[in-house]
A and B are shown apart, each in its own frame.
Chain A
């Protein structure tokens, strides 16, 4: 690894020449983001790709945890990007694209949850095996499925996505006090439903 104290004379020049111009210029990520949005507005497809690439992981991950289905999460994230680009005229501050597209994605997830609640629940777990036992994951999914969409979303954003109350409030477009009371209710209900679900599991 090249240390700063090793950089003297010619080495400094060599090092500076090896650093891409953009990485020297890009001091403010939000300003860089605004530049990408501006270029996208002007029809630059490379800028659009860069925006998608920057935010896709966060959108897909959150959607996967809210919906408990990685494949559906990709669909929703794709839909969110399309909607964001289509409604780019609504974005007042180009530096806020990240939260703009994230909010759209979360709203689309809630819409899907509302539709799902009207449909009979699937019993098979759809997520890939990851951390935690498969039984725990199935139980979590079963309990989350029984929560109303707003409570489920609050719980996922706070406990799985580790967001602050303020971030959850901004994402859901509600006051922080509402987040706190929803979270309180969501935890209480989750706890009650979890106890029932684990007792049922034990009795099998």
Chain B
């Protein structure tokens, strides 16, 4: 096959909009000169038409969606996709609990401080009273009289 014919067939594999003006001119001029390549071009157009005429326009049966859904349910595909959900829920619950605890701990001091003018609470007062009612410690007597 001549080099020009090879080049013609190579360029024929491109879409027209992909080719430069020079390449398109070459295709036109070569087809005018070469009968074999002209036949090749006609065959290629015929091939495209033949394949187009044999297209099967089949959209599938009405029940197609139901059938796919049934298969998905039976093979438990969605359950497997869904495994992360309970795990995420558990993680979120734990995180929320930890955050709540942190909040409680930081907003209430662990050891309460007493200011000088603080009055004792009722509970503390009872404790003081109890302490005061307790028997006083025996004082040292001067019993040794001799």
Residues of A within 8 A of B (CB): 40-43, 45, 48-49, 52-53, 56-57, 60-61, 64-65, 68, 70, 73-74, 77-78, 81-82, 85-86, 88-89, 127-128, 130-132, 136-137, 139-141, 155-156, 159-160, 164-165, 180-181, 183-184, 187, 190-191, 194
A127, A159, A190 — most chain B CB neighbours (10 Å): A159
Contact of B4 with A by CB under 8 A: no
Closest to B56 in A: A64
Q: Are B65 and A52 in contact (CB-based, < 8 A)?
A: yes
- Taking the closest CB of chain B, its distance from the CB of A91, in whole angstroms, is 11
Binding site for A on B (CB under 8 A): 9-10, 13-15, 43-44, 47-48, 50-61, 64-65, 67-69, 71-73, 75, 77-82, 85
Q: Can you give 24 contacting A-B residue pairs, CB < 8 Å?
A: A43-B82, A45-B69, A52-B68, A56-B60, A56-B65, A56-B68, A61-B56, A61-B58, A68-B56, A73-B58, A73-B60, A78-B67, A82-B75, A82-B77, A88-B81, A128-B56, A130-B55, A131-B55, A141-B54, A159-B52, A160-B54, A164-B15, A184-B13, A194-B50
Cβ 8 A contact of A42, one of B15, B59, B85: B85
Q: Say how far A108's CB is from chain B's closest CB, in angstroms.
A: 14
Q: A48–B73 Cα gap in the complex (Å)? A: 11
Asked whether, in the complex, the Cβ of A140 is within 8 Å of the Cβ of B10, the reply is no
List chain B residues, Cβ under 8 A from A187. 13, 44, 47
A61 and B57 form a contact (CB under 8 A) = yes
Q: Are A82 and B56 in contact (CB under 8 A)?
A: no
Also in contact, A165 and B15, with CB within 8 A (given A43-B82, A61-B58): yes
Contact A86-B10, Cβ < 8 Å, known A68-B56, A81-B68, A190-B47: no
In the assembled complex, the Cα of A130 lies from the Cα of B56 at a distance in Å of 7
Inter-chain CB contacts under 8 Å: number: 126
A5 to chain B, nearest CB (A): 37
Nearest B residue to A141 via CB reads B54
* Nearest-CB residue, chain A, relative to B51: A159
Q: Is the CB of B52 within 8 A of A52?
A: no
List, in ascending order, chain A residues with CB within 8 A of B65's CB. 49, 52-53, 56
CA distance A197 to B61 in the complex (A): 33
CB proximity of A149 to chain B, nearest CB, Å: 16
A137 to B80, CA, bound (A): 44
Minimal beta-carbon separation of B74 from chain A (angstroms):
10
* Shortest CB distance B42–A (Å): 11
Report which of B51, B69, B71, B81 forms a contact with A43, defined as CB distance below 8 A. B81
A164 to B17, CA, bound (A): 12
Report the nearest B residue to A70, measured CB to CB. Answer: B58
Please, how many angstroms separate the alpha-carbon atoms of A48 and B72 in the complex?
Answer: 9
The answer for the CA separation of A64 and B79 in the assembled complex, in Å, is 31
In chain A, what residue has the closest Cβ to B67? A78
Contact A132–B9 (Cβ < 8 Å): no
Task: Please give 13 more A-B residue pairs, beta carbons under 8 A apart, in addition to A56-B59, A61-B59, A159-B47.
Answer: A40-B78, A40-B81, A41-B81, A45-B69, A53-B65, A60-B58, A65-B56, A85-B78, A130-B55, A132-B53, A183-B13, A187-B44, A194-B50
